[in-house]
């Protein structure tokens, strides 16, 4: 490229390159353009200003690829402000050895950095129709902040040894992936605060050796994946709060986060489908889905492992006629289900291990599924009668495990009476699944001894029957079978002989009741056998469960 072919802004950039001086095209005294302080960035300037600020992409490429000779001690760099960059900046598979800083510039075509290697690339306040940098290697940071892009940002398999800074940038590509960063490697933080996307954000397989910050970001891809972060690895926090919003599905499945994940104050919307899919996620500390989170759609956390607390405190979850929250096989040291209001939809916690469980009676979900779910303790045990209603909120048929798990929780607290109440409720629930004859025998056991969990009832029944029989026979003593040989009649012991099987006091065989007394004797004998059988069956069942 010949120097006499350069226009005034290009010549000024050419002369400043070796010393690394910043060039503000709009502030060039030789230009008819207004100063940058009054004109603003090139993207918003009028056509006359843009014409005077034009710099060809080929000129920039020639500088970056070593056309200019450097004197010893020079620190070359390309620092350009307010330029209108015409043509295609094609730096594919090149090595750029100097920092590149572009501010308030406008690109006619998307720059190409595929496979390139550069020291540092900083683009701020610029307007671009996209940027393609897949498989690029950036030794320091990549900054694309305060930019406006009308095409995709492609960072697939790029390696960034410093921070990735996308703060305050807006990218609109609603027909595809606004950001494609599959298997990108970031050696510092991924800073995406106030990022605004129209289109998908694909990040699957990415690795970030710092925090991933999406505070205040807005991701819109209705009917698609707002964020696909499948199998990402984050060394520090993965934060979506506060002010984060997404329309479309958020996918975190398979992610590994060495610190915490937070959605406090976020808004997720994907009505009629999953809003958050976080299956088999591993989080070393907290997974916070509370403190103002609003979700319109399902939340699926199946198989996720949380090192400390999984929280839905003060969250609002809505997925009418579907599963609003799925915690199947989820593990956490503590689980907080104290939502702002009852979850609108099914809560499925089957096979979950919830650690210490926090909940509130006034926000219990209408449909709660706890089959094979376990918890070490209930932070708020409540009376057993209330907790039984909690268990019975589950749909479907009889399941014994939720009752036994609840009884075990009460026993660990030393509340044996409450545990027995729960196990009695279990037997009553089970009774509804039995055949009519077995169900009848169940009613007998329930009335007699509460299925063995109310053994004092046997004493009450025995006392009542003994009192009735003794009173009747005291007033109507039966005649002796053999006069002169029978022992002295005792109404109490005679009744005991009738009621208590096997044991005898010598009264029953010595006297022969007639008419009404005879039928009463038969009834007492039958009641005695029924009571003894019920006591034996019930107590054996209760002891076997202990």
3-state secondary structure 236-298: CCEECCCCCEEEEEEECCCCEECCCEECCCCEEEEEEEEEEECCCCEECCCEECCCCCEEEEE
**Distance between CA atoms of residues 269 and 274, nearest Å:** 9
Average pLDDT, the chain: 86
**CB burial class (10 A; 0-12, 13-18, 19+) of residue 322?**
middle
Taking the CA atoms of the chain, what radius of gyration do you get in angstroms? 40
pLDDT at 437: 75
Here the tokens at position 375 are 């918890």
Residue 512: φ, ψ to 5°: -125, 100
Summarised one tens digit per residue, pLDDT across range 271-322 is 989 999 999 999 999 999 988 999 999 999 999 999 999 999 999 999 988 9
Among 9-18, 65-74, 77-86, 525-534, the range with the most confident prediction by mean pLDDT is: 77-86
Confirm if 116 and 92 have CB atoms less than 8 A apart.
yes
d(CA 466, CA 113): 98
Closest CA to 238 of 291, 278, 298: 278
**Residue 67: predicted pLDDT:** 65
* Nearest alpha-carbon partner for 239 in 257, 220, 219: 257
Token pair of 142, please? 């990549």
- pLDDT, mean of residues 351-369: 92
pLDDT in tens, 229-241: 999 999 999 999 8
Confidence of residue 545 (pLDDT cuts 50, 70, 90): low
SS3 41: coil
Listed range (38-52, 72-86, 253-267, 268-282) with the worst mean pLDDT: 38-52
Question: CB of 345 within 8 A of CB of 317?
Answer: yes
Residue 37, pLDDT score: 37
Does residue 2 carry a pLDDT above 50? yes
- Nearest alpha-carbon partner for 111 in 87, 93, 135: 87
47-51, 257-261, 342-346: which range is least confident on average?
Answer: 47-51
The 3-state DSSP class for residue 321 equals strand
The reply to whether omega before 242 is within 30° of 0 (cis) is yes
pLDDT attached to residue 219: 97
Give the relative orientation of helices 491-499 and 516-545 as an angle to the nearest 10 degrees.
Answer: 50
Nearby residues of 73 by Cβ (< 8 Å), 6 or more positions away = none
Question: Model confidence at 449, in pLDDT bands (50, 70, 90)?
Answer: low
Tell whether the model's pLDDT for residue 186 goes beyond 80. Answer: yes
Instruction: Please tell me which of 116-120, 378-382, 488-492, 527-531 the model is most confident about, judged by mean pLDDT.
Output: 116-120
**Residue 253 confidence (pLDDT) above 80:** yes
* Tokens matching residue 431: 């009774």
* Contact predicate 450/480, CB 8 Å: no
Tokens linked to 456: 């004092």
Q: Please, which residues have CB within 8 angstroms of residue 306's CB and are 6 or more apart in sequence? A: 283, 286, 287, 330, 331, 332, 333
| Residue with more model confidence, 469 or 160 | 160
Q: What pLDDT is stored for residue 158 in this prediction?
A: 97
pLDDT at 36: 35
**Contacts of 408 by beta carbon, 8 Å cutoff, 6+ apart:** 419
Secondary structure letter of residue 33 according to DSSP = S
Q: How far is it, in rounded angstroms, from Cα 191 to Cα 79?
A: 23
CB 346 within 8 A of CB 320: no
For 46, other C-beta atoms within 10 Å of its C-beta total: 10
Q: Could you tell me where the beta strands, DSSP code E, fall in 327-414?
A: 331-336, 344-348, 356-358, 367-369, 377-378
Burial state string for 451-471 with b = 16 or more CB within 10 A and e = fewer than 16: bbbbeebbeebbeebbeebbe
Which residue in 535, 340, 377 sits closest to 456, CA to CA? 535
Q: 471 Cβ partners below 8 Å, 6+ apart?
A: 491
Are the C-beta atoms of residues 491 and 464 closer than 8 Å to each other? no
E runs forming strands in 104-169: 106-107, 117-118, 121-124, 127-128, 131-132, 137-138, 142-145, 148-149, 153-154, 159-160, 164-165
Tell me, what's the pLDDT at 491? 79
pLDDT tens for 325-348 read: 999 999 999 999 999 999 999 999
- Which pLDDT value is given to residue 281? 97
* Residue 197: strand, helix, or coil: strand
pLDDT for res 337:
95
How many residues make up the chain in this entry?
546
298 close to 274: Cβ distance less than 8 angstroms = yes
Question: Secondary structure of 44-69 in the HEC alphabet?
Answer: HCCHHHHHHCEEEHHHHHHHHCCCCC
Task: For residue 240, give both structure tokens.
Answer: 């979506």
| DSSP bridge pairs for 200 | 177
Residue 42: which residues within 8 A CB-CB, separation 6 or more? Answer: 25, 26, 49, 50, 53, 82, 83, 84, 104, 105, 106, 127
Name the residue with higher pLDDT: 78 or 488. Answer: 78
Dist. CA 239–CA 15, nearest whole Å: 45
Lowest mean pLDDT among 35-44, 114-123, 362-371: 35-44
Q: Which residue has the higher pLDDT, 541 or 202?
A: 202
Helices 516-545 and 416-431 cross at an angle (nearest 10°) of 110
Helix, strand, or coil here: 372?
coil
């Amino acid at each position: 490229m010949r120097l006499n072919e350069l226009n005034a802004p290009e010549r000024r950039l050419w002369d400043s390159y070796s010393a690394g001086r910043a060039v503000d095209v709009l502030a060039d005294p030789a230009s008819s353009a207004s100063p940058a302080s009054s004109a603003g960035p090139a993207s918003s300037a009028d056509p006359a200003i843009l014409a005077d600020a034009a710099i060809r992409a080929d000129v920039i490429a020639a500088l970056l690829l070593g056309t200019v000779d450097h004197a010893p001690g020079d620190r070359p760099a390309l620092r350009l402000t307010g330029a209108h960059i015409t043509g295609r900046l094609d730096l594919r598979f090149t090595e750029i050895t100097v920092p590149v800083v572009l501010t308030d510039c406008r690109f006619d075509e998307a720059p190409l950095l595929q496979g390139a290697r550069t020291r540092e690339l900083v683009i701020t306040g610029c307007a671009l129709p996209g940027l393609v940098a897949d498989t690029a290697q950036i030794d320091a940071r990549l900054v694309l902040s305060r930019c406006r892009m009308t095409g995709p940002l492609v960072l697939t398999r790029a390696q960034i040894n410093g921070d990735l800074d996308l703060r305050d940038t807006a990218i609109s590509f609603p027909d595809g992936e606004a950001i494609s960063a599959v298997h990108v490697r970031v050696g510092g933080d991924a800073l995406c605060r106030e990022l605004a996307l129209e289109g998908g954000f694909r990040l699957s397989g990415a690795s970030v050796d710092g925090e991933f910050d999406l505070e205040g970001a807005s991701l819109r891809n209705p009917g698609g994946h707002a964020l696909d972060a499948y199998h990402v690895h984050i060394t520090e926090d993965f934060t979506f709060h506060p002010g984060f919003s997404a329309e479309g599905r958020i996918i975190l499945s398979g992610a590994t986060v060495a610190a915490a994940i937070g959605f406090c104050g976020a808004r997720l919307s994907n009505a009629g489908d999953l809003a958050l899919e976080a299956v088999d996620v591993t989080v070393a500390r907290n997974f916070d889905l509370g403190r103002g989170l609003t979700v319109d759609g399902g939340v699926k956390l199946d198989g996720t492992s949380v090192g400390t607390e999984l929280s839905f405190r003060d969250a609002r979850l809505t997925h009418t006629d579907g599963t609003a929250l799925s915690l199947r096989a989820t593990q956490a040291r503590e689980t907080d289900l104290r939502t702002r209001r009852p979850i609108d939809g099914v809560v499925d916690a089957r096979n979950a291990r919830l650690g210490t469980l926090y909940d509130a009676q006034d926000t219990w979900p209408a449909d709660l599924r706890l089959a094979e779910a376990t918890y070490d303790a209930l932070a708020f045990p409540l009376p057993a009668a209330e907790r039984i209603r909690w268990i019975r909120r589950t749909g479907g048929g009889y399941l014994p495990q939720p009752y036994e798990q609840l009884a075990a929780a009460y026993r660990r607290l030393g509340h044996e009476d409450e545990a027995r109440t729960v196990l009695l409720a279990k037997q009553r629930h089970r009774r509804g699944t039995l055949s009519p004859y077995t169900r009848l025998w169940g009613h007998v056991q329930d009335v007699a001894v509460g299925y063995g969990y109310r053994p004092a009832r046997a004493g009450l029944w025995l006392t009542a029957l003994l009192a009735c029989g003794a009173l009747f026979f005291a007033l109507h003593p039966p005649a002796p079978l053999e006069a002169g040989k029978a022992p002295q009649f005792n109404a109490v012991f005679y009744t005991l002989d009738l009621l208590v099987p096997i044991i005898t006091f010598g009264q029953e065989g010595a006297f022969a009741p007639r008419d009404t007394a005879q039928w009463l004797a038969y009834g007492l004998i039958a009641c005695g056998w029924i009571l003894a059988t019920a006591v034996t069956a019930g107590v054996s069942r209760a002891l076997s469960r202990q």
